[in-house]
């Protein structure tokens, strides 16, 4: 009789553990957040780019009354967390093609800025369109909703830096034409770098721990210098001409490479390619 009672107690305890484990699994919203492998280099992000992030929900619950909602945490301006100000939190959606000449009724994929996104699969993606430079410390919350009630939530953090680079050329007339001489001109090739206006925005800013230099490749020639944030820097030698301004040989800065020399660490190399040059 005693053995029979012990067996019942063990069986009851086992059933209780299984029920508890199942309940916990049903009320969890664990997920992993990662940078998309479609982009191989993540240290050269610029304002205006659109970044892709992948989301994987663990123990995905496909019940009809369950919905997963992903939402960025937008509380801290110093970390560039303000949606629609520092960045746009975007979902890729399909819309019908509006091309009347299209032979098929294919849909177009467009990115739409949202406050939150409903994730319908265990493996999903979202996009972040960069509006400002800075060190981004983003947090995203995943909510599990059952019958319109929140039953679980968890958060993940994502870190990245973005800069704003503006390359341009300008012509200055240094001397007017006279009866005996032609006008004189000087063309300058310049750029500026902005890494953000918050206190922790120091991605390319010199400090006691790191120094930043650059090497610019333009029109087949290299030009080197030191990085000074928001100051006018040169990527090619000034060209002096007579009679008229020099014709710009190329409207693209082929490569701008930043070398960060850091104390007791290997150099950090950051390369930006094919920067459009504007006329000022």
- pLDDT of 15 higher than 80: no
For range 53-61, the mean pLDDT: 97
Using one digit for the tens of pLDDT, what is the confidence trace for 203-251? Answer: 999 999 999 999 999 999 999 999 999 999 999 999 999 999 999 999 9
Please list, in sequence order, all residues whose beta carbon lies within 8 angstroms of the beta carbon of residue 237, skipping any fewer than 6 positions away.
189, 221, 223
How far from chain centre, in Å, is Cα 132? 10
Provide CB contacts within 8 A for 92, sequence distance 6+.
Answer: 109, 110, 111, 112, 125, 126, 127
pLDDT at 7: 39
Q: What is the mean pLDDT of residues 147-173?
A: 96
Instruction: pLDDT band for 104, please (50, 70, 90 cuts).
Output: low
Strand, coil or helix: 62: coil
Q: What is the DSSP string of 173-208?
A: EEE---SSS--EEEEEEEEEEE--SSTT--TT---S
Q: How many CB atoms lie within 10 A of CB 75?
A: 9
Q: What is the pLDDT of residues 249-260, one digit of tens each?
A: 999 999 999 999
Phi first, then psi: what are they for 92, rounded to 5°? -90, 120
The pLDDT > 90 percentage for the chain reads: 80
- Distance, in Å, from the CA atom of 213 to the CA atom of 153, rounded to the nearest integer, reads 44
CA distance 31 to 141: 9
- pLDDT over 80 (residue 27): no
Give the number of other CB atoms < 10 A from CB of residue 200: 12
Banded model confidence at residue 77, pLDDT cuts 50, 70, 90: very high
**Which range (148-152, 167-171, 178-182) has the least confidence?**
178-182
pTM of this structure = 0.85
């Amino acid at each position: 009789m005693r053995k029979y009672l012990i067996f019942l107690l063990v069986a009851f305890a086992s059933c209780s553990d299984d029920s508890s484990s199942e309940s916990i699994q049903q009320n969890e919203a664990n997920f992993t957040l990662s940078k998309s492998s479609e982009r191989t280099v993540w240290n050269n992000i610029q304002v205006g780019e659109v970044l892709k992030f992948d989301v994987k929900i663990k123990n995905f619950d496909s019940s009809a009354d369950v919905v997963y909602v992903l939402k960025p945490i937008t509380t801290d301006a110093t970390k560039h967390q303000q949606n629609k100000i520092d960045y746009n939190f975007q979902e890729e959606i399909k819309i019908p093609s509006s091309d009347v000449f299209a032979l098929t009724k294919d849909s177009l994929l467009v990115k739409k800025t949202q406050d939150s996104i409903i994730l319908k699969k265990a493996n999903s993606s979202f996009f972040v369109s960069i509006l400002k430079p800075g060190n981004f410390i983003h947090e995203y919350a995943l909510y599990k909703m059952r019958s319109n009630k929140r039953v679980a939530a968890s958060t993940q953090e994502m870190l990245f830096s973005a800069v704003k680079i503006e390359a341009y050329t300008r012509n200055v007339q240094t001397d007017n034409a006279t009866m005996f001489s032609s006008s004189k001109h000087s063309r300058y090739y310049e750029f500026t770098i902005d890494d953000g206006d918050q206190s922790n925005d120091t991605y390319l800013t010199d400090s006691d721990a790191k120094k930043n230099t650059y090497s610019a490749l333009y029109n087949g020639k290299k030009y080197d210098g030191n990085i000074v944030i928001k100051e006018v820097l040169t990527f090619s030698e000034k060209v002096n001409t007579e009679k008229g301004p020099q014709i710009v040989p190329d409207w693209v800065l082929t490569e701008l490479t930043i070398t960060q020399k850091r104390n007791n660490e290997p150099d950090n190399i950051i390369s930006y390619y094919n920067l459009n040059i504007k006329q000022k």
